Amino acid sequence: MSNLAPNLDVATRPDAAELPAIAPIAPRGRGLRVPLTVRLLVGNWKSRLGIFVFGSIVIVALAAPLIAHNSPSDIVALPGQAPNWHFPFGTTDQGYDVFSQVVWGARQSLAVGALAALISTAIAVTLGLLAAYSGGWIDDVVNLVTNVFLVIPTLPLLVVIAAFIPNRGPTMLVLIIGLTTWAVEARILRGQALSLRNRDFVLAAKVAGEPTWRIVFGEIMANMVSRIAAAFLLVFYIAILFEAGLEFLGLADVNDTSWGATMYWAQNNSAVLQGEWWHFFFPGIALALSVASLVMINYGVDELSNPRLRRRQRRSVLRALWGGRP
């Protein structure tokens, strides 16, 4: 019986040296999976550039006490100095540091734009979902109010409202801009919610007896997140422009430190006519870069809500790789 037993000791076999070595198989870990939304945003070169530029502006605004050592409201040097080593953005015709005004002004300009965008997006989402899901007279009333705000031009409406309000601080700017810029996105979100209301997963949730708030927020709104993000970005950069425009026209508190207030004083003191272009140029370029970066980020967000844009981008990349051949 001992001769029939298999020899399990491979090392004692005479041909053991000729057998290939078998490496142990390491257990495969799950690893860190990057979400699809992040991959789409980073994969698009426009949104990638926009995230880098806007992130840099936000970091500079948060680090203002470390970067800008001079106070933006104190006279720190001789007036009318061109950009130099000590004052990279020059000084105003009164001796203020333009670099400090631009860096510190980013805080208020971005904060007003972000808060106004939050208010506007919240109103647009609420009214859009309410009108689409409820229907009937609620939909008619929401459509009537939305049409009124769509007919009235936003910027003239802001000018008229700001002209009759005595308190023109940042809080009032947030409320004015946020309460007047929701109509376009409310109409768009209502249309998308109407297309989702009769989908199979929504009807299945109704049959299962899910409560209304669960269907609206858990089923319909969950499938509109990318479009809501696009709406927020759109209102964000529009709010930054409107805030700067109202301050440039003198319809806000120009004693605050912001990009619009800096350009207001540059225009009020005829800085460009005197050859002091830096007083107007640097806050203007900061405003332009912020808006352009948000627009670029919005390109990536649009791909999340519209898969056709992803296929179109892949076809353009393949066409470029193949030299224009089909």
Mean pLDDT over residues 260-278, rounded?
Answer: 89
Exposure b/e, 261-299, CB count within 10 A at least 16 = b = bbbbbbbebebeeeebbbbbbbbbebbeebbebbebbbb
Instruction: Name which of 205, 187, 67 is nearest 139 in CA terms.
Output: 187
Looking at every residue in the chain, the average pLDDT score rounds to: 82
pLDDT of 10:
44
Query: How far apart (Å, rounded) are the C-alpha atoms in residues 211 and 34?
Result: 33
What crossing angle do the helices spanning 183-197 and 136-151 adopt, rounded to 10°? 150
pLDDT of 314:
52
Structure token pair of residue 230: 């696009």
The predicted-structure confidence for 199-233, as pLDDT tens digits, reads as follows 888 888 888 878 878 888 888 888 888 889 889 99
Whether the CB-CB separation of 116 and 181 falls below 8 Å is answered with: yes
pLDDT of 238:
93
DSSP codes joined into one string, 166-181: S--SHHHHHHHHHTTS
- DSSP three-state, residue 283: helix
Percent above pLDDT 70 for the chain: 80
Q: In this structure, what DSSP letter does residue 17 have?
A: G
The predicted-structure confidence for 123-163, as pLDDT tens digits, reads as follows 999 999 888 888 888 889 999 999 999 988 888 888 888 88
Count of residues for the chain?
326
Instruction: Name which of 192, 168, 175, 318 is nearest 252 in CA terms.
Output: 168
Residue 199 C-beta-side C-alpha neighbours within 13 Å:
14
Query: How far apart (Å, rounded) are the C-alpha atoms in residues 77 and 75?
Result: 6
Mean pLDDT over residues 286-310, rounded?
Answer: 82
Q: Global pTM?
A: 0.79
DSSP codes joined into one string, 230-292: HHHHHHHHHHHHHHHHHHHTT-S-TTS-SHHHHHHHHHHTTTTTTT-THHHHHHHHHHHHHHH
pLDDT reading at 31 higher than 70:
no
CA of residue 49 relative to chain centroid, distance: 13
Residue that has been written with the tokens 């053991």 in this structure = 16
Instruction: State which of 211-215, 249-253, 282-286 shows the largest mean pLDDT.
Output: 282-286
Query: How far apart (Å, rounded) are the C-alpha atoms in residues 157 and 151?
Result: 11
Whether the CB-CB separation of 237 and 295 falls below 8 Å is answered with: yes
